[in-house]
């Protein structure tokens, strides 16, 4: 529990419409900062884990404000570097009922996209670390970010860190001449734990189910482990969408021998679903470190994600006690005082 968890990825300025307004009708936006990997670091810090985030910001007030937000929530920011021209932005239109949420990105030529591999000393970053987490978003942003991520994984492997990745595929981000299938397999080779579903496996690795019915996902996971023998655990969440503000959520884990599953939660109403997957991963990492039990870690991760859906902005600010209360069946939402 004492060794630091390091996350690596871009943080963007988040501009969201207030009160479920549409972007085309909004005259002002609520501003905060967020990014998939940083969300994991913030969530872990709230759970009492020593967490640090590595990124690159422009050396201006927006970069400083984003850094201050991480510090506010207890994330180690000592290895953040500064330079480049601008911070990436994303605009969020929050959906309701049958109208889905929408995200519009404005992140081209960001400070993070112009990263070069020699800008970060990974030996120094990992000096007191025990875990490294990245996502498929980072190598999709630019060739420099991809090479930097590869270098980080290599150093983490050399130092014996646990390496995890949410290999999420974002088709629209791969714009620099390489595809996910060109870049991602070499990075996945260095992972111990990944988050993947059938869609990610097909789009990134060309892996499809070999069996039908309930064994489809297991057949995909078996193929992934055969291709990448370093991987020991594959986790995944399943979301059911009743409406934009009413979802169900459950989780699964394949350890090479068996499929573990969680209960299915009913989430209604959803306050903010952005960062739900990051909350799951943070909860799962916490569970691995705290319980050293796959089922407990999986259960904790899904419960943490469920709570995130009730919290505004990108990161999960739930505590261990709140997650454990939900795990113990407390879904009343009764006033605590």
Asked if the structure places residue 327 within a domain, the reply is no
Asked if the structure places residue 323 within a domain, the reply is no
Domain with 164 in it: what CATH number? 3.40.1190.20
The helix (H) or strand (E) run that includes residue 135 is: strand 129-135
Buried/exposed code over 223-253 (b: 16+ C-beta within 10 A; e: otherwise): bbbeebeebebbbbbeeeeeebbebebbbbb
Strand-by-strand arrangement of the 12-16 sheet: 30-34, 12-16, 89-93, 102-106
| Residue 213: predicted pLDDT | 59
| Distances from the Cα of 52 to the Cα of 5, 79, 145, 156, 248, angstroms | 6, 8, 18, 14, 31
| Residue 117: predicted pLDDT | 87
pTM of the model: 0.94
| Residue 336: predicted pLDDT | 66
Asked if the structure places residue 222 within a domain, the reply is yes
| Residue 301: predicted pLDDT | 98
Domain range for 301: 4-317
Asked if the structure places residue 332 within a domain, the reply is no
Asked if the structure places residue 337 within a domain, the reply is no
| Residue 157: predicted pLDDT | 98
| Residue 252: predicted pLDDT | 97
Contact between 226 and 210 under an 8 Å Cβ cutoff? The reply is no
How many structural domains compose the chain? 1
Asked if the structure places residue 157 within a domain, the reply is yes
Asked if the structure places residue 333 within a domain, the reply is no
| Residue 80: predicted pLDDT | 98
At residue 138, the 3 state secondary structure works out as helix
CA gap 89, 12 in Å, rounded: 5
CA gap 330, 306 in Å, rounded: 13
pLDDT digits over 295-331, tens only?
999 999 999 999 999 999 999 999 999 999 999 997 7
| Residue 335: predicted pLDDT | 54
Contacts of 229 (CB under 8 A, 6+ apart): none
- Residues 115/119/121/126 CA torsion (nearest 10 deg): -20
pLDDT under 50 in the chain at which residues? none
Q: At what angle do helices 294-308 and 276-291 cross, to 10 degrees?
A: 150
Tell me the two tokens of residue 48: 């009492």
Asked if the structure places residue 231 within a domain, the reply is yes
Contact between 23 and 153 under an 8 Å Cβ cutoff? The reply is no
| DSSP calls for 12-51 | EEEEE-GGG--GGG-S--EEEEE-HHHHHHHHHHHTT--E
Instruction: Show the CA angle centred on residue 96, arms to residues 91 and 98, nearest 5°.
Output: 115
């Amino acid at each position: 529990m004492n060794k630091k968890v390091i996350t690596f990825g871009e943080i963007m300025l988040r501009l969201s419409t207030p009160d479920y307004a549409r972007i085309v009708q909004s005259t002002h936006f609520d501003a905060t900062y967020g990014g998939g990997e940083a969300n994991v670091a913030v969530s872990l810090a709230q759970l009492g884990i020593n967490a640090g985030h590595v990124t690159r910001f422009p050396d201006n007030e927006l970069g400083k404000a984003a850094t201050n937000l991480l510090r506010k929530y207890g994330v180690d920011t000592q290895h953040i570097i500064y330079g480049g021209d601008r911070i990436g932005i994303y605009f969020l239109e929050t959906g309701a009922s049958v109208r889905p949420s929408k995200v519009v990105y404005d992140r081209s030529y960001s400070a993070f996209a112009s990263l070069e591999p020699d800008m970060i000393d990974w030996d120094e970053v990992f000096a007191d670390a025990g875990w490294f987490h990245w996502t498929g978003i980072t190598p999709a942003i630019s060739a420099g970010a991809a090479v930097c991520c590869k270098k980080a994984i290599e150093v983490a492997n050399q130092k014996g860190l646990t390496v995890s990745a949410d290999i999420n595929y974002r088709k629209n981000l791969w714009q620099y001449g390489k595809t996910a299938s060109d870049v991602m397999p070499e990075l996945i080779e260095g992972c111990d734990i990944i988050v993947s579903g059938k869609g990610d496996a097909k789009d990134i690795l060309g892996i499809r189910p070999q069996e039908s019915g309930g064994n489809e996902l297991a057949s995909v996971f078996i193929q992934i482990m055969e291709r990448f023998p370093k991987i020991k655990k594959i986790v995944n969440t399943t979301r059911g969408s009743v409406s934009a503000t009413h979802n169900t959520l459950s989780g699964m884990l394949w350890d090479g021998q068996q499929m573990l599953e969680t209960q299915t939660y009913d989430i209604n109403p959803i306050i903010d679903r952005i960062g739900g997957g990051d909350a799951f991963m943070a909860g799962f990492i916490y569970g691995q470190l705290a319980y050293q039990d796959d089922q407990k870690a999986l259960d904790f991760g899904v419960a943490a994600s469920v709570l995130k859906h009730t919290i505004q902005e990108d990161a999960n600010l739930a505590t261990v006690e709140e997650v454990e209360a939900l795990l113990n069946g407390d879904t009343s939402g009764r006033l605590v005082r």
